[in-house]
Amino acid sequence: MTPTEPPALLIDARGHRCPVPTLRLRKALSEHPDAIINLLADDPMAQIDVPHFCQQNGFQLLASDAEDTHRRFVVRL
């Protein structure tokens, strides 16, 4: 990581149902506004809730990728 790259944080919300993943995402973004957040979630509703949450709150959803047993969302303020 170069000094100009924002820090990356990982939130593992697998095993938790919505709204827990979005609540953890909100908390991480408020505590680390310069970070890029990698959110892991296995609740199928997260595929709908996280993009909607980002749009409603002005966050940037940089990526949303399906992995083996979960989805990875990459978000920044």
| Residues taking part in catalysis | 18
Phi, psi dihedrals of residue 36, rounded to the nearest 5°: -100, 125
Intra-chain end-to-end CA distance of the chain, in Å: 19
What whole-number distance in Å separates Cα of residue 11 and Cα of residue 32?
Answer: 12
Residues 6+ apart with CB under 8 A from 45: 17, 18
